[in-house]
Structure 1
């Protein structure tokens, strides 16, 4: 398992926000010309503003019926904690899909944590040594036992981004192309990966 079981405590969960409250936080940051979290700059504020539009649109992404059936039939309740920030494009694309999916099942509760405000949790769930987000951490809702994790993006999109990095594009152009590719995928790759991951998480929950 990627993290020690005591990294996510009831106290940490108590500080997390449901998706709708996170969305309100992002909207408030836009209204104030800021971004979410502890890191602030005009650049991050602009990304936060751009991503709000993406999040509100992506929340309408069609969900796979077989995936919806799977989350509805979970044998034990799961808590999905997602490390995120308003300035993160991949979070803007994928977090709303996760939230919409969680809404389909009484067995799943999705909550969000700001990466900059929870460094200990982020450090426990690094991706190749980096603090990449979004990062979904699946937990047994009753025991907070970690079941598995996902993120920051589906493998097919990750490979595209790695190839894009080799082109050494200007940062804004890199962000635009990466985000466009993720948006065009429209949650398809994410949902396909969850279909593979959920049975593993179910097995872990039943121990």
Structure 2
């Protein structure tokens, strides 16, 4: 079922942060021994600290030339609104890559909102009834009409995580293995999926 069109309002966009602002928020949280958002624990704070180094690495991920060419040729401005949190490993791996892609085009702007602070948006964009992040919502920048979504992870990584869950590993080991698999992929699966999805979003933006 499609999310209601009025879930993402100009007020929501106004409360969002550009990627640089999100990174500053994560760094500030780490400096204070915390995580982002309303949910706080020592475990989440440690994950956020670990994720900061990952985010700085994945921001340097090589971009596919075909994808860069596609975003540079966007006919209408888009906003990529991303639900995220500093403690989320999948967000640490993929949100910096999304930001780097968005920076390639004057017609593409990436904005971030925190899952815990925007429950209405999160509840409208569940994955298999779960509040999985990161969740990218592509929007027509002028109308805020949703064009499509991506997330929380590429299908090949999603399948790996589902298989990993069957092993019933301790949570720290599960997170470590899932994160390593995602890092090893180096943004390739994400970019391949965006190459497939973006033409659909472009068509929706000009319809």
Taking structure 1 as the reference length, the TM-score comes to 0.99
Aligned residue for 2:129, secondary structure, equals coil
Deviation at 1:206, TM superposition (A): 1.2
Task: Give 2:63's aligned residue.
Answer: 63
Task: Give 1:125's aligned residue.
Answer: 125
Q: What does residue range 32-111 of structure 1 map to in structure 2 within 5 Å?
A: 32-111=32-111
Alignment length, in residue pairs? 207
Question: Are 2:146 and 1:177 equivalent residues in the alignment?
Answer: no
Structure 1 residue runs of 4+, over 4 Å off?
Answer: none
Matches of 1:3 and 1:196 in 2, distance apart?
21
Aligned residue for 1:191, secondary structure, equals helix
Task: Give 1:6's aligned residue.
Answer: 6
Matches of 1:164 and 1:203 in 2, distance apart?
37
Per-residue CA deviation, residues 87-140 of structure 1 (Å, 9 max, x unaligned), is 000000000000000001001000000000000000000000000000000000
Aligned residue for 1:129, secondary structure, equals coil
Aligned residue for 2:174, secondary structure, equals helix
Matches of 2:179 and 2:56 in 1, distance apart?
15
Deviation at 1:60, TM superposition (A): 0.3
Per-residue CA deviation, residues 124-172 of structure 1 (Å, 9 max, x unaligned), is 0000000000000000000000000000000000000000000000000
Matches of 1:32 and 1:2 in 2, distance apart?
39
Task: Give 1:29's aligned residue.
Answer: 29
Matches of 2:142 and 2:50 in 1, distance apart?
37
Matches of 1:124 and 1:74 in 2, distance apart?
26
Matches of 2:45 and 2:193 in 1, distance apart?
31
Per-residue CA deviation, residues 27-60 of structure 1 (Å, 9 max, x unaligned), is 0000000000000000000000000000011100
Task: Give 1:199's aligned residue.
Answer: 199
RMSD between aligned alpha carbons? 0.6
Unpaired runs of at least 5, structure 1: none
Matches of 1:157 and 1:99 in 2, distance apart?
20
Taking structure 2 as the reference length, the TM-score comes to 0.99
Q: What does residue range 154-169 of structure 1 map to in structure 2 within 5 Å?
A: 154-169=154-169
Unpaired runs of at least 5, structure 2: none
